[in-house]
Amino acid sequence: MILKRKIKFSRIVISFFWICLLIPFNTSASQFLQSKNTQTNLWDRVRSGLTLAAPPDSKERRIIQASYAKNLQTFNRIVSNSERYLFHIVEEVERRGMPMEIALIPVVESSYNPLVKATPGNPSTGLWQFVPRTGKHLGLSQTIWYDDRRDVIASTEAALNYLQYLYDRFDSWELAIASYNIGEGVVGKILAKTPAKDKAKGFYQLNLPIEAKQYVYKLLVVKDIIANSKKYGIKLRPVPNRPYFDTVKIHKPIEVPVVARLANISETEFTKLNPAYNGFVVKVFDEPRTLLLPKDNSKTFLRNLQIYQNAKVPWQLYHVKKGENIQMIASRHGTTAHLLRTMNNLLDNREIALVNDQVLLVPPPIKQSNTSVVYKKASADVYIVKKGDTLYHIAKRHGTTIDQIKQWNNNSNISLSIGQELLLAKN
């Protein structure tokens, strides 16, 4: 009996020994017991995955640190922006075994705002701020209808693939992050000229451009603020540790206001989750398109879409022929050049040069009457303003309100002019 007890006790000791070996030495008992599945606040999950060492004290670090600490309102806005996308990115970073600091790169790049538009001075766009050339290199398509650089899922996958590639090349997350900022070619050339003894001194001793070091400093300062938010006087609003959105497939073109209405969300919410779509219509060609919708609203959308009889936009796909312009195509199809430009996201101050075989969505002919011109669409009418019209009279005539007209047209300060086109909600 004593022998059996000794054997049982020894087995317990051995089991405990192996459990201890499995727990990382730098992980506290509480972190070990508190898995990602039991954490209710996503920020706790982020904190538990931060692994990169803090940069040495320096003038640059102190300046950046002070800048973030002084602008707490700005930082809180960034945190608020991240709530829609953070869970997805954290999931992907964890799945790949990357340091959680990678999930904070959009803080530095875009302030977690995927709607940042590219400009001639700054061609970068999206959460991860890809320039057109890098986007194409990473397989992110860019058309007048859709820009993958702003697609939450596609751009995140591309960014993480690229960062993993950079890490595999340079064997350092700091160098990978710096390369993401200034380019792998620049970093590669500098390392090629750096003696082995200098490389051994570490990232911060390398003769890299100051902007690259500042970029890494920024990221790691953000990491320090999130890891020690109380020290900085920042109370991070809790973010639920669960998916924010679902993906749904659509097989027919559909207007953005229709999607929003069927999902019972605002158009603003739709745009923030689907910033890659350019324009008023979600265009579908041969393959279905993916929409992101709040998790609590995706089933509502699919249920309403099933019973919605007019979800298909009654427009035809038209292939531009050589020598044609917008005005010619509009006249031929009984519509207006302005409407054609608007619905094809071709609004510009100058005449748009069309390309041979370019695909346009062309609406059915506008219906004419003695008093007004109304273009019937799946979800709305287009009213052509005539002489003497006011918003009040238009609203009254069509059984709606001035506020509804302003909301439908995304314009809180409409100034009417003869021939102007107004979208009017159907009753």
**For the segment 207-231, what is each residue's pLDDT rounded down to a tens digit?**
999 899 889 999 998 999 899 888 8
- Domain harbouring 412, CATH code: 3.10.350.10
Residue 303 in contact with residue 263, Cβ under 8 Å?
Answer: no
367 and 415 part of one domain:
yes
Number of domains forming the structure of the chain: 3
Partners of 408 in the β-ladder: none
299 and 333 part of one domain:
no
320 and 253 part of one domain:
no
320 and 409 part of one domain:
yes
The whole model's pTM is what?
Answer: 0.70
Q: Which of 262, 280, 307 is the last residue of a domain?
A: 307
100 and 216 part of one domain:
yes
Distant-in-sequence, close-in-space partners of 321: CB < 8 Å, separation ≥ 6: 356
How many Cα atoms within 13 Å fall on the side-chain side of residue 276? 25
Three-class DSSP labels, 328-345: HHHHHCCCCHHHHHHHCC
The residues carrying an active-site annotation are 109
Residue 24 domain flag: no
55 and 132 part of one domain:
yes
Residue 208 in contact with residue 190, Cβ under 8 Å?
Answer: yes
Specify the range with the lowest mean pLDDT, choosing from 143-152, 220-229, 261-270, 402-411.
402-411
164 and 282 part of one domain:
no
For 125-152, letters b (16+ CB in 10 Å) and e give bbbbbbeeebbeebebebeebbbbbbbb
Distant-in-sequence, close-in-space partners of 284: CB < 8 Å, separation ≥ 6: 250, 251, 252, 253, 254
Residue 8 domain flag: no
174 and 296 part of one domain:
no
88 and 219 part of one domain:
yes
Q: How many Cβ atoms sit within 10 Å of the Cβ of residue 280?
A: 18
Residue 63 domain flag: yes
What CA–CA distance (Å, rounded) separates 54 from 217?
9
Can you give the pLDDT at residue 3? 39
147 and 167 part of one domain:
yes
Residue 166 in contact with residue 179, Cβ under 8 Å?
Answer: yes
Whether the pLDDT of residue 250 is over 70: the answer is yes
**Domain enclosing residue 62, as ranges:** 39-227
Using DSSP, state whether 41 is helix, strand or coil: strand
Q: How many Cβ atoms sit within 10 Å of the Cβ of residue 294?
A: 19
Residue 33 domain flag: no
Give per-residue pLDDT as tens, 258-308: 899 889 999 999 999 999 998 778 888 778 899 999 999 999 999 888 877
Residue 10 domain flag: no
Residue 56 domain flag: yes
302 and 357 part of one domain:
no
283 and 180 part of one domain:
no
Q: Which of 160, 195, 227 is the last residue of a domain?
A: 227
DSSP states of 34-56 as a string? S-TTT--BHHHHHHHT--SPPPP
How many Cα atoms within 13 Å fall on the side-chain side of residue 98? 28
